[in-house]
Amino acid sequence: MDKTKLVVIGNGMVGHKLLEAVVASGAAAQFSITVLCEEPRPAYDRVHLSEFFAGKSAEDLSLVQGNFFDDNGIHLHLKDKAVGIDRAAKTVKTAAGAEIPYDKLVLATGSYPFVPPVPGKDREGCFVYRTIEDLEAMTAWGKKSKVGVVVGGGLLGLECAKALKDMNLQTHVVEFAPRLMTVQVDDGGGRVLRKKIEELGVIVHTQKNTLEIVDGPGMGVAGRYAMKFADGSQLETDMIVFSAGIRPRDELAPLAGLNRGERGGIAVDEFCRTNDPDIYAIGECALYQGRIYGLVAPGYQMAQVVADQLTGKTESTFRGADMSTKLKLLGVDVASIGDAQGSTKGALSYSFVDERKQIYKKLVVDASGKLLLGAVLVGEAEEYGTLLQMMLNGMSLPDAPEMLILPISEGTARPQMGLDALPAGAQICSCNNVSKGAICAAIDEGCTTLGALKKSTKAATSCGGCGPLVTQILKHELKARGVAVSNALCEHFAYSRQELFHLVKLGGIKTFDELLEKHGKGHGCDICKPTTASILASIYNEHVLKPKHAKLQDTNDYYLANLQKNGTYSIIPRVTGGEITPDGLIAIGAIAKKYGLYTKITGGQRIDMFGAQVHELPLIWRELIDAGFESGHAYGKSLRTVKSCVGSTWCRYGVQDSVSLAIEIENRYRGVRSPHKMKLAVSGCTRECAEAQSKDFGVIATEHGWNLYVAGNGGMKPRHADLFAGDLDHDTLIKYIDRLMMFYIRTADRLQRTSVWLENLEGGIDYLRKVVVEDSLGIGAELEADMRLLIDTYECEWKKAINDPAVLKRFRTFVNSNEVDPNVLFVEERGQIRPANEEERKSRLGSIPVVTESSH
Amino acid sequence: MKTSPAAAQWIDICALDDIVPDTGVAALVNGVQIAIFRVGGSDAPDALYAIGNFDPFSDANVIARGIVGDLGGELVVASPVYKQHFSLKTGICLEDAEVSVPTYAVRLCDGIVQVAP
């Protein structure tokens, strides 16, 4: 069968979405696909471009999953640009001279930044903000600069201002119009936004028409350049970034006889087809009914429509898109819904301004007051999801619509949108085009957590703005299905770990028996006992081996060592921050040699000694403690290690002393018990040799302080950590980790690592920032005090154990004999012991009769 | 507990106090490893159970080091290696009824724990 030759020009976000949609349709095998991409790398996330300045790499931003192109037989031409289309011959000509035949052609050429024709705009320090190469050039120049100006106060301009701020430049925004974000917000919203942004140290200049850019008066003193404005004023700066809007990349169209709009854009119909039925245009280069859609969500919709058309689902159409948007600009929440300016005839508005907290909210309703037409939210945008759905689905407003935006006081609830009234077709996640119906279907298929829903439907996985709404739907639908979502820990307790934690803390409960008597039933089990032991340890930090807690401990905590497959244990002394003296190394070596232990370096920069039997543990630890070591808590669900790179003390590139900080952090949190193990790391520069972004809590040095990352994970399901806060000073960093760790301990499920915890946390990282940074729940001081108690009451469990005869008595292989376990057999491999395998064990046990003496 | 065998077969193992309430110890009796559990504790009279110490799933002698509890009313110990549950009374594995560990008679006599292997 002859394959349809599909050529896609452009591998931006939308072009790539088209490829993914074709692959997802299962019909990719019918096509021979060629992609032309003029940039040196395939698709990346332009929406989150500013994160490049907060430490993300080009790879982090990549949208290409694994070997997507190879796996699906797609020919990708990087650094090659289409320069002509021969519609008669049906070929695309490239800059490299190739002529690529097509049956179907898709133009996904995107847009370019508009640079106003100001004399001097081509000077060396002038940039645009579009590609990773632009960012690299900005970074290089930024290093030589003190002051930066962004021309354009729109959405992208403010993103760009964040980038300049991240480079630690004195940052100015110059806008031609009287307010920021002219398209999305009204005057009131613009005022609050400006005030908020100015408080963050960005200097805003509105109503400034730049006439020319000349050499600065001081030549490197006041700035390299001066921008001269129409009102006679001027601004000195070292670099200028133009972000004054975008223009469609439509230059191929007129050459090929494809229709263009008057002000640019390749004209398409509802099938995203140009005037040539075999040529489509999607994304920011396409013009539908006189309009360019400069957001990613409509672009994705167009990509889906074209994929549908190509694969035979001809009923699929694009009929315009809602341009509502919610984003965080310089840390300020801004949302704009529908007719934000109230330009519909007869429209009425409600508004609420809180100048102290700097919050602005406005509703635009129709003349009857029954329908929502639009809204503006600045400073706080939690209502976005609800309001958007009301507007999109024409749902009727409550009698007092103002209640939707007024602050809620204690004891009153904001009127909720009737989720039942939301039609199945309502689009909940616009980034990934997930409808309410799709969410309900996933719930029917067994997704009962937010994490499972995200994985299954992709809802709330891009911008995350719909997360709260998805959660509401999930809860509502589960209830409607009569699914009592049992979060019971086990058959003995009808409570989740989080609920048990609160019962223990509020009730001052100190033992498992008391908890079982008050809130549970039966004897308990291997689920609830260790969970309770962990909770008691997290709250009171009592020695885990106290007689009353002994029966609760998993064997690792009972014997303070890690059980291995043959019933022996391994031992890991603490090597704080991975720093160890030669004497320490010698001591560990000598002890391992004396007891015949297998030694291996761990991933957490420590030394693990394997093959110890129960009765040997105290003997080994006596010697380790005498040599100055302490318990490494490798056996506990607790803080494990704080890995570090060598840092600025030795490294040519290090900018901060990562080893000292790692040691300080490890000593601070050592022994802290938690729902699951916690791993930390500190890197001394952005080269990130300590791999902090794969840790539960990771710290990376910057030139101005420390960046804090949360919820990274290696292991079975790797997860890149999220940047929680940047450029923190030492004390703030420690304060945030105190709060984060304690909040995790309080609220996570049993055996839930921080990665899954954050994925399932309602409101995600924004919510976490509110709780930790803004102290929105008012529990900041309490979290710190709880952590302080754990820090102040730290004790080395092994030091205590070897000095307590009652505890030592438990460390016996046999209660009635001094024999060793005859089933524990080792063979030699590479100069060390390893457990004998089944065959080796059987032949040894069989051939040598085991003679044992009973002690009775 | 099983029917008491002839008195001569009872072998002293340890004092009751040598077993922390709601935990187990391992004993070596004529070359056989036995896990002995003390269940009950403060308010109820102590009950003793004895089953094989060898875990058929991990091929290691570890059963005595498991956490004691009850599942569906059945007193069990969870193997510390792969967490299968074994009935303290019958030795049968709750996850796979085909698999079991042996059981032994055990009693308390004048504060001394005795088994009859």
What confidence score (pLDDT) does residue A325 get? Answer: 85
Residue B54 is part of which domain span?
7-116
Q: How confident is the model over B4-14, as pLDDT tens digits?
A: 555 558 999 99
Q: Which of A143-147, A315-319, B64-68: highest mean pLDDT?
A: B64-68
User: What does the alpha-carbon distance between residue A133 and residue A83 come to, in Å, rounded to a whole number?
Assistant: 21
| Residue among A312, A330, A293, A356 nearest A202 (CA) | A330
Residue A375, strand partner residues: A337, A363
What confidence score (pLDDT) does residue A413 get? Answer: 53
In contact, A691 and A645? CB cutoff 8 Å: no
What are the angstrom distances between the C-alpha of A670 and each of A580, A600, A638, A702, A731? Answer: 17, 22, 8, 25, 18
What confidence score (pLDDT) does residue A222 get? Answer: 56
Looking up tokens 């005839």, which residue turns up? A345
Other Cβ atoms less than 10 A from the Cβ of A478: the count is: 16
User: What does the alpha-carbon distance between residue A323 and residue A337 come to, in Å, rounded to a whole number?
Assistant: 7
Q: Do A814 and B42 count as a contact with CB atoms less than 8 A apart? A: no
Q: How confident is the model at residue A544 (pLDDT cuts 50, 70, 90)?
A: confident
Mutate to test the interface with A, among B12, B18, B19, B20 (most CBs of A within 10 A): B20
User: What does the alpha-carbon distance between residue A6 and residue A73 come to, in Å, rounded to a whole number?
Assistant: 12
Give the torsion sign (CA, A301, A303, A305, A308). negative
Q: How confident is the model at residue A841 (pLDDT cuts 50, 70, 90)?
A: confident
Q: What is the DSSP string of A264-305?
A: S-EEE-TTSB-SSTTEEE-GGGEEETTEE--SHHHHHHHHHH
Q: How confident is the model over A404-433, as pLDDT tens digits?
A: 888 765 445 555 566 777 888 888 887 777
User: What does the alpha-carbon distance between residue A492 and residue A525 come to, in Å, rounded to a whole number?
Assistant: 8
Q: Do domains A4-112+248-310 and A638-795 have the same CATH topology?
A: no
Look at chain A and count its residues: 856
User: What does the alpha-carbon distance between residue A504 and residue A513 come to, in Å, rounded to a whole number?
Assistant: 12
Question: What count of Cα atoms within 13 Å lies in the side-chain half-sphere of residue A617?
Answer: 31
Q: How confident is the model over A175-197, as pLDDT tens digits?
A: 999 999 888 888 888 999 999 89
Mean local confidence (pLDDT), A726-746: 96
By the CB < 8 Å criterion, does A558 face chain B?
yes
Q: Which residue type occupies A728?
A: L
Q: Which residue type occupies A80?
A: D
The residues near B77 (Cβ < 8 Å, ≥ 6 apart) are B24, B35, B37, B51, B63, B66, B67, B68, B69, B85, B86, B88
What confidence score (pLDDT) does residue A80 get? Answer: 93
Residue B2 or residue B58, greater confidence: B58
What confidence score (pLDDT) does residue A597 get? Answer: 97
By the CB < 8 Å criterion, does A844 face chain B?
no
Q: Is residue B2 part of a domain?
A: no
Q: Tell me: pLDDT of A44 over 60.
A: yes
Q: Do B14 and A552 count as a contact with CB atoms less than 8 A apart? A: no
In contact, A129 and A241? CB cutoff 8 Å: yes
Q: How confident is the model over A769-820, as pLDDT tens digits?
A: 999 999 988 899 999 999 999 999 999 999 999 999 989 999 999 999 999 9
Burial class of residue B59 in the structure, from the number of CB atoms within 10 Å of its CB (0-12 exposed, 13-18 middle, 19+ buried)? middle
Q: Mind telling me how many Å the CA of B61 is from chain A's nearest CA?
A: 6
Q: Tell me: pLDDT of A542 over 90.
A: no
Looking up tokens 């719909």, which residue turns up? A466
Mean local confidence (pLDDT), A661-674: 96
A835 contacts on B by Cβ (under 8 Å): none
The residues near A542 (Cβ < 8 Å, ≥ 6 apart) are A536, A549
User: What does the alpha-carbon distance between residue A532 and residue A538 come to, in Å, rounded to a whole number?
Assistant: 10
What confidence score (pLDDT) does residue A265 get? Answer: 95
A551 contacts on B by Cβ (under 8 Å): 20-23, 67-68
| Residue among A11, A591, A85 nearest A283 (CA) | A11
Looking up tokens 């009929």, which residue turns up? A319
Q: How confident is the model over A15-35, as pLDDT tens digits?
A: 999 999 999 998 888 999 999
DSSP H helix total and E strand total for chain B: 0, 11
Outline where A125-232 has alpha helix (H).
132-142, 155-166, 187-199
Task: Give the class (CATH, top level) of A126-244.
Answer: alpha beta
What confidence score (pLDDT) does residue A649 get? Answer: 95
By the CB < 8 Å criterion, does A262 face chain B?
no
What confidence score (pLDDT) does residue A219 get? Answer: 45
In contact, A58 and A31? CB cutoff 8 Å: no
User: φ and ψ at A548, to 5 degrees?
Assistant: -70, -20
Least confident of A520-524, A628-632, B41-45, B69-73: B41-45
Residue A4, strand partner residues: A31
In contact, A349 and A319? CB cutoff 8 Å: no
Q: How confident is the model over B19-77, as pLDDT tens digits?
A: 999 999 999 999 999 999 999 754 557 899 999 999 999 999 999 999 999 999 899 99
By the CB < 8 Å criterion, does A559 face chain B?
yes
Q: Do B30 and A852 count as a contact with CB atoms less than 8 A apart? A: yes
Measured in whole angstroms, how far is the alpha carbon of residue A841 from the centre of its chain? 48
Q: Do B28 and A838 count as a contact with CB atoms less than 8 A apart? A: no
Q: Using N-to-C axis directions, what is the helix angle for A512-519 and A497-507, rounded to 10°?
A: 110
Q: Do A854 and B66 count as a contact with CB atoms less than 8 A apart? A: no
Q: How many domains does chain B have?
A: 1
Measured in whole angstroms, how far is the alpha carbon of residue A617 from the centre of its chain? 41
Mean pLDDT, chain A, as a whole number?
90
What confidence score (pLDDT) does residue A855 get? Answer: 38
Q: What percent of chain A stands above pLDDT 90?
A: 64
Mean local confidence (pLDDT), A743-763: 90
Interface A-B, measured as beta-carbon pairs within 8 A, has a size of 117
A570 contacts on B by Cβ (under 8 Å): none
Task: Give the class (CATH, top level) of A4-112+248-310.
Answer: alpha beta
Task: Give the class (CATH, top level) of A638-795.
Answer: alpha beta
Strand order through the sheet with B74-78: B67-71, B74-78, B85-87
The residue ranges of DSSP E strands in A614-735, in sequence order, are 639-644, 678-683, 697-702, 705-710, 722-728
A523 contacts on B by Cβ (under 8 Å): 22, 39, 68-70, 75
Mean local confidence (pLDDT), A730-746: 97
Other Cβ atoms less than 10 A from the Cβ of A219: the count is: 10
What confidence score (pLDDT) does residue A446 get? Answer: 84
What are the angstrom distances between the C-alpha of A410 and each of A43, A413, A694? Answer: 47, 8, 40
A526 contacts on B by Cβ (under 8 Å): 66-67, 69, 78, 83, 85
Q: Which residue type occupies A794?
A: Y
In contact, A218 and A236? CB cutoff 8 Å: yes
Q: Tell me: pLDDT of A848 over 80.
A: no
User: What does the alpha-carbon distance between residue A707 and residue A709 come to, in Å, rounded to a whole number?
Assistant: 7
Q: Long-range contacts of range A715-721, CB-CB < 8 Å, 24 or more positions apart?
A: A717/A755, A718/A694, A719/A694, A719/A755, A720/A60, A720/A693, A720/A694, A721/A692, A721/A693, A721/A694, A721/A695
Q: How confident is the model at residue A2 (pLDDT cuts 50, 70, 90)?
A: confident
Q: Do B58 and A565 count as a contact with CB atoms less than 8 A apart? A: yes
Q: Do A522 and B25 count as a contact with CB atoms less than 8 A apart? A: no
Least confident of A286-300, A345-359, A453-467: A453-467
Q: Which residue type occupies A465?
A: G
Of B42, B67, B71, the CB nearest to A491: B71
By the CB < 8 Å criterion, does A570 face chain B?
no
User: What does the alpha-carbon distance between residue B92 and residue B75 come to, in Å, rounded to a whole number?
Assistant: 11
User: What does the alpha-carbon distance between residue A547 and residue A834 come to, in Å, rounded to a whole number?
Assistant: 34
Q: How confident is the model over A192-218, as pLDDT tens digits?
A: 999 989 988 899 999 999 999 988 764
Q: How confident is the model at residue A485 (pLDDT cuts 50, 70, 90)?
A: low
- Torsion angle of alpha carbons A154, A156, A158, A163, nearest 10°? -160
Other Cβ atoms less than 10 A from the Cβ of A411: the count is: 5
By the CB < 8 Å criterion, does A850 face chain B?
yes
The residues near B97 (Cβ < 8 Å, ≥ 6 apart) are none
Q: Sort residue A670 into left (φ over 0), alpha (ψ -120 to 50) or beta.
A: beta
Residue A397 or residue A482, greater confidence: A397
Domain holding B36: CATH number? Answer: 2.102.10.10
Least confident of A588-597, A751-760, B74-83: A751-760
Residue A333, strand partner residues: A328
Domains of chain A, by residue range, sit at 4-112+248-310, 126-244, 497-559, 638-795
By the CB < 8 Å criterion, does B71 face chain A?
yes
The residue of chain A nearest to residue B62, with distances taken between CA atoms, is A567
The residue of chain B nearest to residue A525, with distances taken between CA atoms, is B69
What confidence score (pLDDT) does residue A783 get? Answer: 96
User: What does the alpha-carbon distance between residue A601 and residue A580 come to, in Å, rounded to a whole number?
Assistant: 13
Question: What count of Cα atoms within 13 Å lies in the side-chain half-sphere of residue A298?
Answer: 24
Q: Mind telling me how many Å the CA of B89 is from chain A's nearest CA?
A: 15
Q: Is residue B21 part of a domain?
A: yes
Q: Tell me: pLDDT of A397 over 80.
A: yes
B26 contacts on A by Cβ (under 8 Å): 813-815
Burial class of residue A59 in the structure, from the number of CB atoms within 10 Å of its CB (0-12 exposed, 13-18 middle, 19+ buried)? exposed
In contact, A648 and A658? CB cutoff 8 Å: yes
Write the ipTM: 0.93
Q: Do B19 and A554 count as a contact with CB atoms less than 8 A apart? A: no
By the CB < 8 Å criterion, does B65 face chain A?
yes
User: φ and ψ at A6, to 5 degrees?
Assistant: -110, 125
The residue of chain A nearest to residue B32, with distances taken between CA atoms, is A852
What confidence score (pLDDT) does residue A463 get? Answer: 67
Q: What angle do CA A447, A770, A757 make, to 5 degrees?
A: 30
Question: What count of Cα atoms within 13 Å lies in the side-chain half-sphere of residue A314?
Answer: 2
Q: Do A529 and B69 count as a contact with CB atoms less than 8 A apart? A: yes
DSSP H helix total and E strand total for chain A: 27, 39
